[in-house]
Structure 1
Amino acid sequence: MAVIRSRRPLNLRLPLPEPSDRRPRFPLPLPLPPSAAAAAPPPPAGAISAADLEKLQVLGHGNGGTVYKVRHKHTAAVYALKVVHGDGDGDRRQLLREVSILRRTDSPHVVKCHGVLDLPGGDIAICMEYMDAGTLETLLKTGGGAAGSVVFSEQILAGICRQVLAGLDYLHSHKIIHRDLKPSNILVNHEMDVKISDFGVSKIMQKTLDPCNSYVGTCAYMSPERFDPDTYGSNYDGYAGDIWSLGLTLLELYMGHFPYLAPGQRPDWATLMCAICFGEPPRLPETTSENFRSFIECCLQKDSSKRWTAKQLLSHPFVSRR
C-alpha cells in the first residue's frame, strides 16, 4: 500500500492543464486489513440517549472535549461520541456550529451525525458514525516506514483525493466552507472509505459576497489569502481556501511530513506565515508523475482566483484516470 519516495524538491513549474469534462474513472484504492470493529447502522430517529451508550475507549482529545468510542447497550452498534465540557463557552459554540452543519448534510463523504445528547454536568455531545481506521493523520503516524511514518503511493492518494473532492464539491454546492481541512480532520475506515469531519470552525455562506477570511482554523494549512486577502484574494469567495488545504494535505501524506517544514522540525508560526505568503508553494519530487505534480500545482496557486474548484479537480487526470 505504501512506498517510500525521494524527498528532493522539484523546482520545475509545470503548465496547468485545462479542466476536462471526463467523469472520474480511477479505481478505489486497495483496502486496509479489516479490523474487528463493525460499522454501525444508522439508528432510528430519536432512539439514542446518553443512558443507552457504553464507553469503550478514548479516541482523542482536543477543542475542549474528548472523543470516545461507544457502544449501544441494546443494539451493539458502535459510534463515536464527541463530548464538549460545559465550562467552555467557545467550545460549546463550535460544537453547536458543527451540529448545525452536520444536520444540513447528507453525503457519503461527510461524517454522519446520529444525534445530539445532553449529558450530566452541562456537557453536550454529538453521536457520530464510527470510522474504525481513525484519521489520515493516524495512518501517517502509525503505518510504518523508516521514521515511523507511512508515505502513501500515488494510487492510494488518488482514491483518497477523489473522495475528499466529492465531499468538498458537495459542501461547496451547499455553501458550506470547511476552513480547517487537514489529515486529522479526514476520517477513514478499514475499507478506505474517506469522510470529512470536524466542522467546528466551518462557515455557511448566507450571501454570495459574504466575507470568509477570518483567522480561524489551523494556520499551517491556511491559504495565502486567509492571511493577506488584499494581495492574494482577487475574486476570493472562501471556497478556494479548502482547495489549498487539500493540496498541502496530499503533500504531507506523500512526503511523510508537513511540506513547509523539514522532517521533525517544530513550526515557528511567524516564519511559517511568511513562507506561505511570500515564498513559493512547496513542490513534489521529480520522481512523481506529471499528473500528480500538475494536480498539486492546481491546488497550490497563491492567487485564489487561479486555483481550480473541487468540481474542476474531479475531472483532473490525476483523479479521473482508470
Structure 2
Amino acid sequence: MEMALLGHKAEPVGNESLDKWESVGCGGFGHVYRARHKDWGFDVAIKILRDGARPLVPTERALCEEAGHMEKASCEFVLRVYGIYQGCPPVAGAPMQQGIVMEFMGKGSVQSLMNDLSGPPQWPLAFRLAHQVALGMNFLHSRNLMHHDLKPSNVLLNDDLNAKLADFGLSRVSSSALNSNREIKGQTGGSYKYMPPEAFEASYEPVRAFDRYSYGILLWSILTGKEPYPAADYSLVALRIPLGDRPSSEDIDQMKEEGLKELVDLMKRCWDENPCERPTFKKCLEVTEKVLSTHKKGIPDAVHHALTRLESPTSNQHSKKSVAFKPPLQTPEQLKSTDVMDFASLRSSLPDSTRKLSDTDKAKFVDDNRAELIQSVSEVMAIAEELGDMVHGETYSVMEAKATSQERMRTLYLRTFRPGGVTVKAAFYDALRIHQPKLVERLGG
C-alpha cells in the first residue's frame, strides 16, 4: 500500500485493534462498518472499498486516492481520516480486505435525518446545515479538490447534528492552480439527480462548477425534506435537465421565513444552466452566514427537537446511527408470533373495511399489483419504517443506497416479500393504506 499518499499521520489498523463491529450500510463504492478501537477508546468508521467500484482503477490505488484526498481536505466540516485498515471483517467468509479508518458520525446523514423526521428539520437547523456544507465545500475547493458526489447521504451528522462532508469516492484533484480554466479530465460520476446538465454530455470534463450545481439541488432537498424527481429514472433526468427542468420551488416560495428568500435565490443561481453563472462557495458563504446569523438563537431548540424525534420509540431504527449484525430474516412462522403483535397500533387506525380483509387477501393484492406498486409507491422508506424488524437491517441499507423509489420497491419485493410470505405482505398493505390511501383505492384495494 502506498502509505506515502496519506502522509505521516496515517497508520495501519488491523483486527487486533478493533472490536464491537457493526454494519452501518453499503453503497456503490463499498461497505461501511462501525467498530471500537481498543487503544484509542472511541468508535471509528471503516469503509471497505468494493472491488471494481472505480472502473479502470485498481482497488488499492482508489483506496489510497480517497484517503489522500480526505487527509488533504481535513477540517472541521470534512470527515477526518485516521488511517488504513487491513484485515478480515468479522463476517462469515470475508477475505483479507483493505479500507479507510475514519471518524464515526453517530447520527447518520442528512438523508437519514430527513427520513426519520419525514420532512425537513426546523429552519434554524436547516440553515446551519446549509452553511456548514458550504464551509466544507469552500475548504475543499480551496485545496484544489472536488467532491463530485455531493448529496444528502454524503453529508454526515455528529451527535450534535453538525455536518461533515463524506465519501470522496469520486473526488478529483483540480488543476486550476496551474490553469484557471481547466481541471483534470476524469470519469463522470455521482448521483445523477445531483449532476449538472453539462455532465450528461459524452465529452464532459469535470470542473468545480459541478459541485456548485450539486449544492443547489442539495439546498432544495434540505429545505423541502424531499428527494428530487422521485419518479424519474436516469434516462428521463438526462433528457430533461439539459432542457432546463429543475425541482419545483413553488412550495418554498410561499413560505415567509426570514432569510429563506435569499437562500432560495442562491439555490437557483447554483443550479443555473451556465456553469460560469454559478457562484463560488466563497460567495455562497456570504449568503448562508448572513441567513444563519438571524437564526442562531433558535438552533439549540431546533437541534433538541430533531434529537427528540430521532430518539423517540417510534423513530426509524434502521437509519439512526448504525445497524448491528443480525441473524437472517425471520421465518413467516416466527413473524406470526412476534412482529405481527407490534403492528396492532397501526392496524387500529385503519378503516373498518381494511381491517375486515384477511391477510391472504391483502397479500394477493400486493402480488397482483406488483408492477403498478413498483412504479407508484413513493413513500417506500416511510413504509419500511412501519414494517420494523420485518425488513432486515442489510435490506434497509441496500434500499437507502438505491437512487429511485422504483428500485427500492423492487428490493423490498425480492428481499422481504418473497421470503416473508403472507404476513409481511399483509403488513405492507396496511402501511400502504396509511401512507398512500388513494393509490390503494385506485388499484381496487
Does structure 1 retain, via aligned residues, the 8 Å contact 2:124–2:292?
no
Could you tell me the percent identity over the aligned residues? 26
Deviations 1:34-75 (A, max 9, x none): xxxxxxxxxx86384331011431100123532111001234
**Range moving further from structure 2, 78-87 or 192-201:** 78-87
Equivalent residue of 1:315, what SS?
Answer: helix
Q: Distance in 1 between matches of 2:151 and 2:241?
A: 16
Residue number among 127, 139, 146 corresponding to 2:113 in the alignment: 139
* Counterpart contact for 2:29–2:50, Cα < 8 Å: yes
For 2:192, give the aligned amino acid: C
1:52 corresponds to = 17
Residue by residue, what CA displacement relative to the aligned partner does 1:61-106 show, whole Å, maximum 9, x if unpaired?
A: 1235321110012343111111235687747243332112112122
Alpha carbons of structure 1 residues 183 and 58: separation in structure 2 relative to 1, 3 Å: same
Residue 205 of structure 1, CA deviation: 1.5
User: Aligned residue for 1:8?
Assistant: none
Q: Is the 8 A contact 2:79 2:164 kept in 1?
A: yes
Structure-2 residue corresponding to 1:308: 279
**Aligned to 1:95, which of 43, 46, 63?**
63
Distance 1:308 1:87 in 2: 35
Distance 2:221 2:242 in 1: 19
Q: Larger Rg: 1 or 2? A: 2
Does residue 210 (structure 1) correspond to residue 183 (structure 2)? The answer is yes
Q: Deviations over 1:4-31 (max 9, x none)?
A: xxxxxxxxxxxxxxxxxxxxxxxxxxxx
Partner in structure 2 of residue 21 of structure 1: none
Tell me, in whole angstroms, the C-alpha distance in 2 between the residues paired with 1:49 and 1:260: 42
Q: 1:127 aligns with which of 90, 95, 101?
A: 101
Residue aligned with 1:115, SS? strand
Asked if 1:253 is matched to 2:253, the reply is no
Cα offset, 1:165, TM superposition: 0.7
Aligned to 1:220: 193
1:134 deviates by 0.8
Distance in 2 separating the partners of 1:240 and 1:167: 15
Distance 1:47 1:200, change over 3 A: closer
User: Unaligned stretches of 5+ in structure 2?
Assistant: 1-8, 89-94, 295-445
- What is the match of residue 45 of structure 2? 80
Cα RMSD after superposing both structures: 2.6
Partners of 1:201 and 1:248 in 2: how far apart? 18
Take 1:293 and 1:67, find their aligned partners in 2: how far apart are those partners?
Answer: 34
Aligned CA distance change for structure 1 residues 287 and 210 (closer, same or farther; 3 Å): same
Judged with a 3 Å threshold, the aligned counterparts in structure 2 of structure 1 residues 213 and 139 are, in CA distance, closer, same or farther, namely same
State the SS of the aligned residue for 1:316: helix
CA–CA distance in structure 1, aligned partners of residues 53 and 198 of structure 2: 30
Q: What is the Cα deviation at residue 256 of structure 1?
A: 2.8
Is 2:238 the partner of 1:273?
yes
Would you say how many aligned residue pairs link Structure 1 and Structure 2? 266
What's the TM-score once normalised by structure 1's chain length?
0.75
Q: Which has the higher contact order (CA 8 A, sep 6+)?
A: 1
The question of 1:176 aligning with 2:150 is answered no
**Structure with more of its chain in helix, by fraction:** 2
* Change beyond 3 A, Cα 1:272–1:81: same
Give me the whole-angstrom Cα distance separating, in 2, the residues matched to 1:229 and 1:294. 30
Alignment match, 2:211:
242
2:34 to 60, 69, 76: 69
Specify whether residues 291 and 85 from structure 1 end up closer, same or farther in structure 2 by C-alpha distance, changes over 3 A only: closer
Note the residue ranges of structure 1 that are not aligned, 5 or more in a row: 1-43, 144-148
Q: CA offset at residue 161 of structure 1? A: 1.1
**Counterpart in the other structure of 2:127:** 158
CA distance in structure 2 between the aligned counterparts of 1:87 and 1:213, rounded to whole angstroms: 16
Equivalent pair of 1:281/1:302 in contact (CA under 8 Å): no
- What residue in structure 2 maps to residue 186 of structure 1? 155
Residue in structure 1 matching 2:78, options 81, 100, 110: 110
Asked whether the equivalents of residues 71 and 81 of structure 2 are also in contact (C-alpha less than 8 Å), the reply is: yes
CA contact (8 A) 2:46 2:100 kept: yes
Partner of 1:312, secondary structure, is helix
Match among 238, 262, 270 for residue 291 of structure 1 = 262
Inter-partner Cα distance in structure 1 for 2:234 and 2:10? 44
CA contact (8 A) 1:213 1:238 kept: no
Amino acid at match of 1:202: S
Q: Is the 8 A contact 1:228 1:277 kept in 2?
A: no
Aligned amino acid, residue 105 of structure 1? A
Q: 1:88 to 1:204 in 2, by over 3 A?
A: closer
Q: Which amino acid aligns with 2:44?
A: Y
